[in-house]
Amino acid sequence: MRGRPSEEDPLLSLHTFSLEGCHYAVQGSSGFPFELDGPVSRALAELREAAAGPGPVLGRWPPSSVSPALLAELEKVRERALRYAEGGKRLRWQEAHQRSPRSLELCLCATFRCNLACRYCFVRLSSGDRRDAKADMTFETARAAIEFALGKLESPTRELVVSFGHTGEPLLAKELYEKIGSYAQRREAETGRRIAYGMAATNLTLARSGKLPKLSWPTISLDGPREVHDRCRTTPAGLGTYDAVVSSLKMLLATASAEAAGANVVATVTARSTDIKAIFLHLASLGAPFVSLYPVRLPPGSELAITEAAASELLAGYDDLLRHLLTVDGTRLLQYLKCMVHSQDYFGRHLLRVAGNHRVRRRCDAGVGMLAVTPDGELFPCPELAALGRMGMGSIQEGLDEQVVTYLESRSVWDLETCAACWARLLCGGDCLSNRAMYEPFGAPPDPGMCAFTRGLVERAIHLVARLREAHPEVLSAVLQSRARWLTDTEPAGADVEPPSDNGD
């Protein structure tokens, strides 16, 4: 080893953590993780503690007991950290050379009406409660929005994804949904562009009253077992809806249709959804091919908001789930991971990024590869911001506000002051814009609870990927192969980057 650490030593740039007796480090400027053995992990912890104290590091290090073998191992870690830091420099691409999004998602916020009164609904909790502020979207507005979006596609090879719903219950506007679908299909044939169309999300409670419409990529809101679901997802009269949702879901899955093959059951995770293992296993047992757990978006101070204390409890719940996953046989493990590992699951997306060496420079494509349209044609970066009435981007009638567009296109974790020192920034992408919109003043620093929760999930993704590579490499390979299109088609959020060579370390 080149002597004791300097004040700028790359060892000091490493984030280290331990889970279930395993030790890891992450090089912060590149986001590349690697495993450590116990003595090296403890030595790095002593070094970090020394660096945090008064006076120069050189006067307080090496650790209390340092053998030549340990010094040699620390030198290897230092060299690895240097290589990964160089990889981090390569990751900071020139913005002008980045490819624009391969697809554009047009979110038609067709209705603000809903037949339920969920406790955490961001439409109900937004300023002014916009449920009654706008009539449903007309077909003419929807058609104009699709033509506006087609005009934004730079090449015939790019895809327009039109999603319907988002800010209300889409089955309340079933006829409009089907009419827009017919129009999108006709325009796809006329323009030669790929136009995908489907329903964003539904509580599915109205499905029993008639035949289901064609639900491309159907996303069904279901928070877990009956006692969890009925705690928040109720009718205006306060009645639980679990039985109605599950009944309709089973009807959908029994059809053996393309809709059933793409069904995604989504649970909203709140501060009280701490039994993550029970929630996931229950939803997976219902037979839907995809299960998503996604954190609630609520203003600070809300009872169900994810605070730092709640984040700690939720992460303990994920620890229980991961322990269970690593004890089941390979066939069952593959089934569970295929349910979980996809871009709509908040933990699954981090698993994909870690396992696929995928890095992200912003949280999502809001306002860049995604536009939300309200019933009167207003444009917003995403449906949540449309519901909140924050960060308007213009309208389909008058065009986009180029100042807002420029800001969103240039927004990157490299430049966000609150993210600059975070070791997880390239695996996270920064805080959700709509989450920040719930703070006052608008655009206040990221939610500390969500930051703690996200960093904890990234650590658990690193741990699970490492253990799968060790004990179930064939399962991990099969999962990544089934998600290969996601890893290549998510260019707008980041870039696939190979880590620097380990040179046999």
Residue 392: how many CA atoms within 13 Å on its side-chain side? Answer: 10
Instruction: Say what the alpha-carbon torsion angle 79, 84, 88, 89 is, to the nearest 10 degrees.
Output: 40
**Residue 122 pLDDT:** 78
Give pLDDT, residue 99.
53
What is d(CA 494, CA 274) in angstroms, rounded to the nearest whole number? Answer: 31
Residues in the chain: 505
Three-state DSSP class for residue 359: strand
- 436, 299 contact by CB (below 8 A): no
C-alpha neighbours within 13 Å on the C-beta side of residue 169: 16
State residue 86's pLDDT score. 80
What distance in Å separates the CA atoms of residue 52 and residue 31, rounded to the nearest whole number?
22
**pLDDT in the model for residue 48:** 82
What is the reported pLDDT for 60? 61
Q: What is the pLDDT of residue 504?
A: 41
Residues 6+ apart with CB under 8 A from 102: 158, 159, 489, 491, 492
In this structure, are residues 340 and 351 in contact, taking their beta carbons and an 8 Å threshold? yes
Is 371:379 a contact under the CB 8 Å cutoff? yes
pLDDT at site 55 = 65
CA dist., res. 453 & res. 187, Å (int): 43
- What is the reported pLDDT for 500? 47
Confidence (pLDDT) at 66: 73
Peptide bond into 441 cis (omega under 30): yes
pLDDT at 130: 47
Chain-centre distance for alpha carbon 253 = 25
Kindly report, residue by residue over 395-429, the tens digit of the pLDDT. Answer: 999 999 999 999 898 888 887 888 888 999 999 99
Kindly list the domain boundaries of the chain, sorted by start residue: 10-91, 101-388
What does the alpha-carbon distance between residue 371 and residue 453 come to, in Å, rounded to a whole number? 27
What are the E-state strand segments in 347-484? 358-360, 370-373, 379-380, 394-395, 399-400
H-type alpha helices, 297-401: 308-325, 330-340, 346-355, 383-388
Cα(343)–Cα(360) distance, rounded to whole angstroms? 13
DSSP 178-209: HHHHHHHHHHHHHH--EEEEEE--B--TTGGG
**Measured CA distances, 76 to 1, 49, 79, 88, 435 (Å):** 9, 21, 5, 18, 41
Task: Give every residue of the chain whose pLDDT is below 50, as ranges.
Answer: 1-2, 94-97, 127-131, 490-498, 500, 502-505
Q: What gap in Å lies between CA 119 and CA 115, rounded to an integer? A: 13
pLDDT value of residue 100:
57
How far is 425 from 436, CA to CA, in rounded Å?
16
Determine which helix (DSSP H) or strand (DSSP E) holds 489, and give its type and residue range.
Answer: helix 484-489
Tell me the CB-side half-sphere exposure of residue 115, using CA atoms within 13 A. 16
Classify burial at 14, counting beta carbons within 10 Å of its beta carbon; exposed 0-12, middle 13-18, buried 19 or more. Answer: buried
Specify the pLDDT at position 474: 97
pLDDT tens sequence across 201-230: 899 999 875 667 776 778 999 999 999 999
| Top-tier CATH class for 101-388 | alpha beta
